[in-house]
């Protein structure tokens, strides 16, 4: 029982040893820095410590210690301090087990700037499509060439820091080329997506990868010279992955790749229903505006 108590006490002391501090200044040589932590907090001259931020950790020693400030010097003579004035870092008053530290998880618990905000936005996109496969009822087996373009606008709402949902409208024009004939299909759809965003990639300007699934429903019209048929079209499902790259706090550049399955039921001029099942690949580019 005594051993368990000692281990528990040690674990708690290590957990509370992590502390967030702000870098007050960094020398021109990048070999020393100053933090607002000094003798009053128990820092002594010559003491060694670890400072971490995001995916980097450094070992330092206390060069000059005052009551409220300490000047720290990096121990490795070949390295430089990777922080800047104002950087929030995790202070750990020991150098053991540096490989086991998890500063990012600790920072995200306390630093508001590291926690994705729950926001709303408008997304404007354009895309090019290419047919992958199709099946048409009451038609001989044939493999046409399908391709087109579309425009979309979405309202997106973050439900949680990583999850979002959007809803919007799409206008699409697709050209279907058979041997000896060419058709044009127009679609107007209402679409909803559920999205998952990954953590920002700091090495890529805080860009975020995302995955999504979508469904949609709308109207379809297929026409050629002397022929026109209309009906309804279902989009189920649409699987997509993409990248959201921020320009600033209000504007993101968005690109995505998706595969979409359509089921179309159109009424021909003779009254018969023609059913088309197809899969398209889509590459989209757009801009997201936060408000």
Per CATH, the number for 120-290 is 2.40.160.20
Pairwise CA distance, residues 122 & 206, whole Å: 20
Q: Where are the domains of the chain?
A: 2-113, 120-290
- Identify the three-state secondary structure at position 13: helix
Fold matches, 2-113 and 120-290 = no
Report which DSSP code applies to 274.
E
Give me the architecture of the 2-113 domain, per CATH: Beta Barrel (2.40)
Pairwise CA distance, residues 28 & 75, whole Å: 17
Q: How confident is the model at residue 77 (pLDDT cuts 50, 70, 90)?
A: confident
Pairwise CA distance, residues 31 & 267, whole Å: 76
Pairwise CA distance, residues 104 & 89, whole Å: 10
196 pairs with which residues across the strands?
163, 211
pLDDT digits (tens, 9 = 90+) for 121-164: 999 999 999 999 998 887 666 778 999 999 999 999 999 888 99
Q: How confident is the model at residue 55 (pLDDT cuts 50, 70, 90)?
A: low
Residue with tokens 């050629």: 224
């Amino acid at each position: 029982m005594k051993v368990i108590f000692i281990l528990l006490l040690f674990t708690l002391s290590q957990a509370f040893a992590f502390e967030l501090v702000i870098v007050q200044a960094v020398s021109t040589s990048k070999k020393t820095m100053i933090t607002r932590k000094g003798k009053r907090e128990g820092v002594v001259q010559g003491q060694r410590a670890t400072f971490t931020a995001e995916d980097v950790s450094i070992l330092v020693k206390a060069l000059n210690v005052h009551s409220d400030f300490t000047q720290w010097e990096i121990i490795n003579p070949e390295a430089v301090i990777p922080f800047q004035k104002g950087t929030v870092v995790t202070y750990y008053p020991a150098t053991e087990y540096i490989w086991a530290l998890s500063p990012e998880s600790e920072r995200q618990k306390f630093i508001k700037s590291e926690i994705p905000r729950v926001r709303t936005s408008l997304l404007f996109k354009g895309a090019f499509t290419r047919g992958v496969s199709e099946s048409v009822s009451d038609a001989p087996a044939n493999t046409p060439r399908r391709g087109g373009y579309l425009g979309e606008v979405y309202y997106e709402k973050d439900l949680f820091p990583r999850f979002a949902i959007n809803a919007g409208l799409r206008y699409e024009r697709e050209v279907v080329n058979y041997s000896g004939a060419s058709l044009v299909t127009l679609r107007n759809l209402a679409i909803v997506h559920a999205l998952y965003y990954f953590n920002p990639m700091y090495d890529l300007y805080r860009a975020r990868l995302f995955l999504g699934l979508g469904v949609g429903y709308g109207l379809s019209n297929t026409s050629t010279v002397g022929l026109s048929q209309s009906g309804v079209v279902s989009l189920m499902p649409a699987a997509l992955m993409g990248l959201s790259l921020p320009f600033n706090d209000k504007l993101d550049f968005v690109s995505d790749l998706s595969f979409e399955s359509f089921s179309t039921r159109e009424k021909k001029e003779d009254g018969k229903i023609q059913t088309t099942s197809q899969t398209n690949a889509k590459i989209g580019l757009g801009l997201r505006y936060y408000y």
